[in-house]
Structure formats: structure tokens, C-alpha cells
Amino acid sequence: MATSGRGPRERMVFSAAQLLRRGGVAATGMREVAVHAAAPRGSLQHYFPGGKEQLVNEAVGWAGRYAGKRVARLLAALPEPTPSALFAEMVRQWTDEYETAGFAGGCPLAAATVDCAGTTASTREATAAAFAAWTAPLAAALTGMGVPGGRSDALATLMISSLEGAIIMARAEQDVRALTTVSRELGPLLDAAAGKAG
């Protein structure tokens, strides 16, 4: 698996993001990344002279851009776009994975933040940039649905915060309850903000 990407470098970044989700940064070995990516171990030091730190930072950046693009993709697939429907789709990505593949993986951004925010400055900056790359398209989507400009950023932050926290709770409980709960409880609030100015 994980053989789709083009070059070995890209595959390694992708695999790193994938493995980050499971056990966090420290539990993810460089050799393990190479194996998972079906990439030669010798390429690690060639493509990532900055070592593990660089690889993790790029994986985080990749994850942030992926999340940002996914917002647009989900939005485009909605029959009638409403904030609650978008959020429900974002949540559904996770409930689907958990119900079909188990609760092994979480969000790579959360993993990198939890493990590195207090110790590795460059990785912390990478996570901040990644969250920004996720929040911005989401806020723009909300604005496009009628949410006033001043609220869009706040609601996007609320959506992502709730989702991240619910992912953690779901993994702990091995139950998607927390995810479905935040989706259900937050939906009306989001749609209300889109309906009329708040």
C-alpha cells in the first residue's frame, strides 16, 4: 500500500503523515517510514538532510494542505451547501474510517502538536501553518454560505477544535459517539450563523 505517489520522496512524506497518526512522533521511526513507503532507506538522508525534524515538518505541511483541499472537495459534493452539512461531512470522514478500519489512527496535526509543540520550534510552526491552511478554506466556505465575515474565522476554529477533540475522545472510547455528538449539537448553531447575521 501507499504506492500511488510519484517519487519516493513524496511517498515518504505521505507515509510519515500516515504513521504519525498511529503512535505520534517519537513512536514513528525513520526506518519504518522508508519501509512503509517502499522507499530505499538510503534516500532518507538524501531527501531529508534536516533529519527526522524535516520529515515530520513536511508531513505536517502535507496534512494541512490535504485538509484544506478536502474542505473544497466536500463542499463541492454537497447537494445543497449548508455549514451543518459541511461539518457533518467532515465528521463523516472520520466515522467512516473508524467504523471500517478501526480506531488506530488520529489526526497527524494533533499528534505532532502534542508531541512537539513544547520541544521542537520548527515543528510547532509547521503545525500552526497547517492549521491555518485548514482553517482558511473552511472560513472562506462559511463566508460563501452566508456567514458574516467576522464570524467565519471563529466558527471555522470552533469546527476544527470540536472535530480534533472529538477524534481524541472517539479513539479513547473506541466509539464514534463523540464525533456524531459534536456534529449533531453544533449543526444548528452553524446554520443559524449562516441564516442571519450574529
- Assess 124 for contact with a copy of itself (CB under 8 A): yes
Residue (82 or 181) nearer to a copy of itself, CB: 181
**From a copy of itself, DNA, none, which one binds at residue 43 (CB under 5 to 8 Å depending on kind)?**
DNA
- Closest to 94 (Cα-Cα) out of 21, 14, 16, 13: 21
CB 53, min distance to DNA, A: 6
Per CB under 8 A, which of residues 163..182 are in contact with a copy of itself?
163-166, 168-169, 171-174, 177-178, 181-182
Per CB under 7 A, which of residues 18..47 are in contact with DNA?
28-32, 39-47
- Assess 118 for contact with a copy of itself (CB under 8 A): yes
CB 96, min distance to a copy of itself, A: 17
Site track 2-21 with DNA (rule: CB under 7 A), x = hit: ------x-------------
What distance in Å separates the CA atoms of residue 123 and residue 30, rounded to the nearest whole number? 16
**From DNA, a copy of itself, none, which one binds at residue 41 (CB under 5 to 8 Å depending on kind)?**
DNA
CB 63, min distance to a copy of itself, A: 12
- Assess 115 for contact with a copy of itself (CB under 8 A): yes
**Which residues bind to DNA, rule: CB under 7 A?**
8, 28-32, 39-47, 51-53
